[in-house]
Structure 1
Amino acid sequence: MRCGYFDAGVCRSCTLLAQPYAAQVDAQAAHVRTVLGDPAGVQWLPTVTSAPSAFRNKAKMVVAGTVDAPTLGILDAHGHGVDLQGCPLYPAALSASFAPLAAFVTRARLVPYDVPTRRGELKHVLVTVSPDGELMVRFVLRSTEALSRLRKHLPSLLADLPRLVVASVNVQPAHAAVLEGEQEITLTEQQTLRMRVNDLDLHLRPRGFFQTNTEVAAALYRQAAAWADEAQVASAWDLYCGVGGFALHLARPGRAVVGVETSPEAVAGAEQTARDAALPGTRFLAGDATAFALAAGDVPDLVVVNPPRRGLGEPLSRWLETSGVPRVLYSSCHAGSLARDLAHMPSLRPVRAQVLDMFPHTHHHEVLTLLERAP
């Protein structure tokens, strides 16, 4: 992939872009194996690769500049805006939304937030595109001061972006490196973006988590389901379930599946998918994954964990070690935290693993590991 921003030195987010893609993939797989200590007896499946460009389903654009000439992109070292509307990581349906959104910033007089002076209102525009080309747009504001203007001009944005189905305002008042706040105000009648993954319509709400790379996420869920089917598990938990990607792909007649997620919005989306798809035996709970596990009585045949970058942490890892759970599917976005967690559960040994290149041209990765309890 060629990128003019990278060549000009104005954006170096894709730190590995100068390397051939095949070399990136090989190095990533070798890195993961090294960090995990290259445990004996593990069957490593071939790495799942990505399209090298136009693979991102979401854009987290910092808004800077002026109300009459806004930039959508990143900030430079001095806190000034660098416009990245032509970034080749985004598919056409996503990148085509940027110019209308920039024009909307001007029309609705949404003053970009200036980091050096701490003045202005609009911090970010967050855009997600579905596999069908529908859009969700979130405006991250410091306050609700501009809300009435945004509502007034929203019809013009909907006319400019006919595939826009969900729009919302997120309020983040703090001057801090925090992307979004707790308050979300939905502006459209439709509240979820339908993300078609394999044969399921997952419903993403504004504050719900979804993997950045839809095609690679689909491969991730397929592999997890295949391993669960091969083991003929009758019950499964999906901890940190998000919108239910793993749980809903694991659902089968006669298999009881429980998903646990802290975000009520994500749980509501997972429940909507389960209803629409008439999936039997699925249940979703809003709560803390560790607290749920520690309070449980019986344990399932399989526990799926997909924690944030920091990993499971010692309490949940040690619970898995002593619980008697025969199998764990661990989906990790950080091999270092995965290695730390594995050290706390030595009875659960890796038997299969696969690296998935969810984030081409970076050192970030996803690795799916099947753990089985040693006899």
Structure 2
Amino acid sequence: MSIKRGQELEVEIESLAYGGKGVVHVDTLAIFVERALPGQKMRIRIKKKRNNYADAYPIEILQPAPNQIEAKCPHFGVCGGCLLQNLSYEDQLVVKTQQVRDLIQRVGGFKEIEVKPALPSPEIFHYRNKMEFSFTTRPWMTNPDDPADDFGLGLHVPGRFDRVLPIETCYLQKPICTDILNFTTEWAKANYWQSFETQNHTGWARHLVLRYGEYTDEIMVNLVTTTNDRALIEPFFDALKEKFPQITVMVNNTTRSMAEVSVGEAEYAYTEASVIHDRLGDLTYEIAANAFFQTNTRQAERLYAEAMAQAKLIGNEVVYDLYCGTGTISLYLAQKAKMVYGVELVEDAVNNARANAASHGIKNAEFILGDLKDVFHTDENARQLPNPDVLVVDPPRAGLHPKLIDDILTFSPQRIVYVSCNPSTLARDLKLLCADDRYEITSVQPVDMFPHTAHIETVVGMVRS
């Protein structure tokens, strides 16, 4: 059957691909369908056709999936925050486990590897400790009868960097954070803030980033703008603090970047404190505005417990923790290791990691600032480190840099623990690390850090052959 762009088809969705799109095959052609669930019968329209696959979107749901449920959020279906909220949580875990298994088998080539069932999150709503919202001059309106508006604050429409859906309710973050979001929207409108425009690079207000300490109840409000305009910022923060006295940190990050980024080039504190704190296990961590910290605190404890289990430390090991962030895994492992060396690119995160170690009196953890693609060749301190017995990596979605993979194989640690937020790049990297039988995979454990989204973390244990 010949498939063309614009063609309409009636199909039944077979499965979910990693990334959250439904999959159906017509003859040998794989079609990826937006906002689809396995078991749904629907009419779809082809929007893009390639040699071996096509992309499509649904026109009409003809029959719901057997495990389909009513989504809780009024923004579901348009907002980019949740893709799977209309799928029962038990089935989300099954789907995510299958996605990890499929990628490791198909991309990695590991046909006989057992993938354990995904660990469920203790909370499936209000679990995120950080949310980032974007200001816009062209809010995405879902009702054609709504009046036109030139201001909005919300989340991006899936696949559109230039389209922001105004958000009034969010079940991913704490309710007080949603209240702060709505207060900010009303204040910005009333005071005629000019939203940053990504296409012509004009405007001032760029992002609102909210962080919450799960165990401490500390709250950080980070307003990201093009300039530190105190005449606009001070009245806003004063009013915000009066309305929400629970807020502990208010900072302004500024950036002139033309890209849609929320990391500031400069930071200005409007409170005495410039960091919040949260706890993982027995350790409390200092978290700056631009530092990485796992966004589901309670599930991160299970993630790190799994990483610790795969490290199999007995107390005499030298450990490398690469992409260490604020030192959360490093300090967790330092409780059972001889020495831990963390390496991280973000300076704020390294400073937080050092402060976290000092506050707990942990002396067997050191942190190095550097780019992992070349730090072991360009930084004198990194070059002089003793070789690791155990090496832990927790890279961004892009996975490991090829040069770092070469360095890891040169170090030849006895054990490698790979903590992944992208099973596709994980599978690619495992294939390289295990080539020529240099390493053997001993465990693959998916961990659902992000209920209702298409994302899944995975902890993989490896031992040198």
Task: Calculate the TM-score normalised by the size of structure 2.
Answer: 0.73
Is 2:248 aligned against 1:171? no
CA distance in 1, matches of 2:331, 2:161: 45
- When structure 1 is superposed on structure 2, of 159-168 and 23-32 the one drifting more is 159-168
Q: Which has the larger radius of gyration?
A: 2
TM superposition shift of 1:75 = 4.7
TM superposition shift of 1:276 = 1.3
Cα 1:79–1:205 change in 2 (3 A) is same
Is 2:350 aligned against 1:350? no
2:87 equivalent among 19, 41, 44: 19
Give 5+ residue unaligned stretches, structure 2. 1-70, 139-148, 378-382
Q: Could you say which residue in structure 2 is the equivalent of 1:203?
A: 286
Cα 1:278–1:229 change in 2 (3 A) is farther
Cα 1:109–1:201 change in 2 (3 A) is farther
CA distance in 2, matches of 1:82, 1:152: 26
1:33 equivalent among 98, 101, 104: 101
Q: Could you say which residue in structure 2 is the equivalent of 1:136?
A: 220
CA distance in 2, matches of 1:203, 1:228: 25
TM superposition shift of 1:2 = 1.4
- When structure 1 is superposed on structure 2, of 194-203 and 102-111 the one drifting more is 102-111
Q: Could you say which residue in structure 2 is the equivalent of 1:63?
A: 135
CA distance in 1, matches of 2:211, 2:323: 21
Q: Could you say which residue in structure 1 is the equivalent of 2:170?
A: 87
Q: Verify the 8 A CA contact 1:108 1:153 in the aligned structure 2.
A: no
Is 2:205 aligned against 1:122? yes
Aligned 1:253-272 pairs, distance under 5 A: 255-272=338-355
Is 2:270 aligned against 1:187? yes
TM superposition shift of 1:80 = 5.7
1:366 equivalent among 433, 457, 464: 457
CA distance in 1, matches of 2:290, 2:308: 26
- When structure 1 is superposed on structure 2, of 196-205 and 241-250 the one drifting more is 196-205
Q: Could you say which residue in structure 2 is the equivalent of 1:53?
A: 125
What is the aligned residue count?
A: 370
**What fraction of aligned residue pairs are identical, expressed as a percent?**
28
Paired residue secondary structure (1:168): strand
CA distance in 2, matches of 1:254, 1:78: 44
Cα 1:348–1:121 change in 2 (3 A) is same
CA distance in 2, matches of 1:230, 1:118: 51
Q: Could you say which residue in structure 2 is the equivalent of 1:275?
A: 358
Letter in 2 for 1:235: V
Task: Calculate the TM-score normalised by the size of structure 1.
Answer: 0.89
TM superposition shift of 1:19 = 1.9
Cα 1:152–1:331 change in 2 (3 A) is same
TM superposition shift of 1:365 = 1.1
Aligned 1:279-358 pairs, distance under 5 A: 279-294=362-377, 295-296=383-384, 298-346=386-434, 347-358=438-449
Paired residue secondary structure (1:165): strand
Letter in 2 for 1:209: F
Q: Verify the 8 A CA contact 1:314 1:344 in the aligned structure 2.
A: no
CA distance in 1, matches of 2:278, 2:402: 33
Q: Verify the 8 A CA contact 1:253 1:280 in the aligned structure 2.
A: no
Post-superposition Cα deviations, 1:149-181, rounded to whole Å, max 9, x if no partner, equal: 312442222121212122222223244333334
Q: Could you say which residue in structure 2 is the equivalent of 1:74?
A: 155
CA distance in 1, matches of 2:241, 2:257: 29
Cα 1:230–1:45 change in 2 (3 A) is farther
RMSD: 2.6
Cα 1:345–1:69 change in 2 (3 A) is closer
Paired residue secondary structure (2:252): strand
Cα 1:90–1:110 change in 2 (3 A) is same
Paired residue secondary structure (2:374): helix
Give 5+ residue unaligned stretches, structure 1. none
Q: Verify the 8 A CA contact 1:261 1:287 in the aligned structure 2.
A: yes
Larger RCO (CA under 8 A, 6+ residues apart): 1
CA distance in 2, matches of 1:344, 1:301: 20
- When structure 1 is superposed on structure 2, of 75-84 and 298-307 the one drifting more is 75-84
Letter in 2 for 1:4: P
CA distance in 1, matches of 2:375, 2:307: 22
CA distance in 1, matches of 2:310, 2:317: 13
TM superposition shift of 1:20 = 1.7
Paired residue secondary structure (1:28): helix
